[in-house]
Structures are given as structure tokens and as C-alpha cells.
């Protein structure tokens, strides 16, 4: 049976997709810094692709693709410093509530988190769907709640 989705390492060709994903109002209502321009997406790609001024290692971020090669989201560790890594994930709204992200996160965490002592995910306190999703995972993550009133 063919898997519903696959993961592929993010590349420079995905900058427009990143912009579209992080410019979508349904997604950005839960973000502290939504992308306003394609340059924002390029800057994020550059950040996760290389060592930055703080000495963090390159991120491990993947594009989620359906079997028809449609890019529908991202998952990964976008900031890694020593034994600590920050989890990031986003999915196009038309794919929400289908169990895709739960499966993606479980698979991703099983394969990519053994090297890190702390996996941290930052979530706004009003992002009930993400908090519900994270509570279903079989992995222990450190959740940093961000106050929605600050954004």
C-alpha cells in the first residue's frame, strides 16, 4: 500500500510554498510573526538551512507531500542548539482534522529526535487544535505556551 504522504528535505525551490503556507490567515492567526513577503520566507529558509550567528546547527525541516506530489505542509526541527531542538509543523487548512499531522509527527519524532535531550514546541495558548494534537502524541515534548494577548 502506498503511504498517504511522504517527507522530503526542504529546498530553496520551496520558498514560495513556505510563503503561501505562512501567509495563510487560518494558519497565521496562531503565529507570532506571519510572513508578509516572499523575503520573509527566504529569510526563514536561510535560517533553517545554515548555521546562524548563535551557533545553532542547520535545521531538519521537511515538506509533507501527498502521493500526487502536492506539498501540503512542513514538519521539522527548525532551531537546534546542542541537546535542544525546536519542533515546527504546519499543514494547509484543507488537510486539517484528517489525522495526517498526527501520523506525520509520530513518524517524524520516531526518526529524528533520538539525538536531542529536549524537544520544545512553542504554541500559542489559544491554539486549541495544536494543543489537542500534541496531547495525542506518544512522545514527551516540552510545550512552551505563548500568551495570545502578546500577539
Express each pLDDT in 7-18 by its tens digit.
Answer: 999 999 999 999
Cα–Cα distance for residue pair 29/6, rounded to 1 Å: 27
Confirm whether pTM is higher than 0.85: yes
Local confidence band at 53 (pLDDT 50, 70, 90 cut-offs)? low
**CA 138 – CA 114 distance, rounded (Å):** 14
- pLDDT tier at 2, thresholds 50, 70, 90: very low
How far is Cα 35 from Cα 23, in angstroms, rounded to an integer?
5
pLDDT digits (tens, 9 = 90+) for 102-144: 999 999 999 888 888 899 999 999 999 999 999 999 888 899 9
Average pLDDT of the residues of the chain:
89
Amino acid at each position: 500500500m502506498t503511504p498517504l504522504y511522504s517527507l522530503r528535505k526542504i529546498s530553496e525551490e520551496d520558498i514560495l510554498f513556505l510563503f503561501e503556507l505562512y501567509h495563510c490567515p487560518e494558519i497565521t492567526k496562531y503565529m507570532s510573526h506571519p510572513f508578509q513577503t516572499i523575503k520573509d520566507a527566504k529569510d526563514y529558509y536561510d535560517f533553517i538551512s545554515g548555521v546562524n550567528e548563535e551557533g545553532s546547527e542547520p535545521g531538519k525541516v521537511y515538506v509533507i507531500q501527498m502521493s500526487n506530489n502536492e506539498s501540503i505542509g512542513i514538519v521539522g526541527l527548525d532551531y537546534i542548539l546542542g541537546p535542544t531542538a525546536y519542533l515546527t509543523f504546519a499543514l494547509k487548512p484543507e488537510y486539517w482534522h484528517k489525522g495526517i499531522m498526527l501520523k506525520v509527527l509520530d513518524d517524524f519524532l520516531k526518526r529524528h529526535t533520538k539525538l536531542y535531550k529536549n524537544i520544545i514546541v512553542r504554541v500559542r495558548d489559544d491554539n486549541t487544535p495544536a494543543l489537542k494534537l500534541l496531547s495525542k502524541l506518544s512522545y514527551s515534548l516540552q510545550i512552551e505556551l505563548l500568551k495570545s494577548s502578546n500577539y
